[in-house]
Structure formats: structure tokens, C-alpha cells
């Protein structure tokens, strides 16, 4: 798939390495896709996908498949969280709110 290799750990994850720009990850779930990595490489991958398939480019994501995405440019990191699922577990099991502070 456009020079990407399918992950052996998860069939919905594809990746490729760019010597110049590092790791690029392509996540797919049915008809939802997310490409993560160096912005230049992401644009190349996105344009290749748009040439092969009829797709909607929804721009910079804040959510993906029920997960909230938090991009931290200073740390060059991405965090996936599931606040709705955590809240439903908390409600179902009557869990008390806690923190990491001691």
C-alpha cells in the first residue's frame, strides 16, 4: 500500500520509514484513516491516497474512532485517550475519582 508495510501486530496499522523524515504511520479502520508523521511525508501519503480512492480530507484531526487526539508540538508527541469510555466504566462500576498525587 503506497510503500507502506503492514504491521504484524495489528492489521489496521501500516508504516514506512523515511531516511530523511523518520516514521510515518497510517491507521485504517473500515473507511476511516489517519496518517501520522512528518508533515511533508503525511502530505505525500495523503495525496497518494486521494489519487487512488474517493476520499474526504477532513483536515487536522482532534478525534479518531472515539479517541481524543492531543498533539504536543513542543514534545513532538501524540496522545490517544478515550474519555467517554473511561467515564462509562466509572459510571458502571461506581468508581471514585482519583489522581496520581499522593
Note the pLDDT tens digit of each residue in 31-51. Answer: 889 998 888 998 999 999 889
Whether the Cβ atoms of residue 4 and residue 14 lie closer than 8 Å to each other: yes
Which carries the bigger pLDDT value, residue 98 or residue 16? 16
pLDDT tens for residues 1-24? Answer: 678 999 999 999 999 998 888 899
Phi, psi torsion values for 74, nearest 5 degrees: -65, -40
Domain boundaries, the chain: 1-58, 60-102
Dump the DSSP string for 80-91: EE-HHHHHHHHH
- The pLDDT of 67-90, averaged and rounded, is 85
Dump the DSSP string for 9-73: S-TTEEEEEETTTEEEEEEEETTEEEEES-HHHHHHHHHHHHHHS------S-SEETTEEEEEET
Amino acid at each position: 500500500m503506497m510503500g507502506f508495510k503492514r504491521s504484524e501486530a495489528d492489521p489496521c496499522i501500516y508504516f514506512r520509514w523515511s531516511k530523511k523524515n523518520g516514521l510515518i504511520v497510517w491507521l485504517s479502520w473500515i473507511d476511516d484513516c489517519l496518517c501520522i508523521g512528518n508533515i511533508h511525508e503525511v502530505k505525500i501519503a495523503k495525496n497518494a491516497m486521494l489519487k487512488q480512492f474517493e476520499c474526504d480530507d477532513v483536515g487536522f484531526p482532534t478525534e479518531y474512532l472515539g479517541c481524543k487526539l492531543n498533539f504536543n508540538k513542543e514534545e513532538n508527541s501524540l496522545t490517544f485517550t478515550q474519555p467517554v469510555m473511561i467515564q462509562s466504566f466509572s459510571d458502571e462500576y461506581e468508581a471514585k475519582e482519583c489522581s496520581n498525587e499522593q
